[in-house]
Amino acid sequence: MRKIHQKTMWMPTTQQARSKVGVPDKVWDDTVAAYDQNYVNQRKIDCQLVHSGGNYDENLAWRSGYMSRGNAVRLWVDEKTNYDYNSNSCFGVCLHYTQVVLGVLE
């Protein structure tokens, strides 16, 4: 399993989604990246989609076959149609989307 954190792969798609709704760019954090990589190393044995239960919010994605990092982010961003900005609420699944555009990595 590849290392999950190569910021040149993850950040552009995330930043594009955030700029479309006028929120600041996320800031890369090496501590969070190391935490995430450690958790991925634990999960690669069974490939279970289980949240870490740690101090950081996280989005998980799975599909059979190859999925690029950008495609994973796009899956989450596509949930935008289920989010209502006026009421700050979801109509269906949208919490992955809110993590991309509203979550802060600082």
Residues 6+ apart with CB under 8 A from 7: 28, 33
Mean pLDDT across the chain:
84
Identify the CA nearest to 78 among candidates 51, 103, 100.
Answer: 100
Q: Where are the alpha helices (DSSP H) in the chain?
A: 7-20, 30-43, 69-77, 95-101
Residue 84 bridge partners (DSSP): 89
Tell me if the pTM is above 0.85: no
Instruction: Write out residues in the chain with pLDDT < 50, as ranges.
Output: 1-2, 104-106
Instruction: Please write the tens of the pLDDT for every residue from 21-40.
Output: 898 888 888 898 899 889 88
